[in-house]
Amino acid sequence: MFIQIFRMLASFALLFVMLYLGKLITSFFPIGIPDSILGMLLLFGCLVLGIIKIEWVTPSAKSLTRYMTLFFLPICAGLMEHFDLLHQNLNTFVLATALSTLVSIILIGIFAQWLFHRKRG
């Protein structure tokens, strides 16, 4: 039991270290990327390079992803609070969503065809 608690705390500590490294980098070099995203990119890079093992992050990552829907409740409450503003700009949101989805599908299709033709040759 003590080992599981230690692994969970160490895993959370590792995630917070990556978050605060992202904050530290953005405080010295304002590059326009949010500090939490930069922290996730740092974590991803360390995982890919093998600096951090996936087993070190798994205990806290499982619990965070299990209850991820709870993190979106404040956002939903904020949307309901500003429903009139959302309703006024609904056309813009629908158009932006449709266009970004269409562009993404087209680009992924072109990239997939390029990969498949490259693989054959």
51 SS3 class: coil
CA terminus-to-terminus distance, the chain: 55
Q: Can you give the pTM of this predicted structure?
A: 0.60
Write the pLDDT tens digit of every residue in 28-86: 888 888 888 999 999 999 999 999 999 999 988 888 888 888 887 787 787 788 888 88
Cβ count near 22 (within 10 Å): 21
Residue 121's pLDDT band, with cuts at 50, 70 and 90, is low
> CB within 8 A of 63, min separation 6: which ones?
8
Write the pLDDT tens digit of every residue in 85-120: 888 999 999 999 999 999 999 999 999 999 888 877
Tallying the residues shown for the chain, one arrives at 121
pLDDT of residue 69: 82
Please write down the long-range contacts of 1-5, taking CB distance under 8 Å and 24 or more positions apart. Answer: 4/59
d(CA 20, CA 99): 35
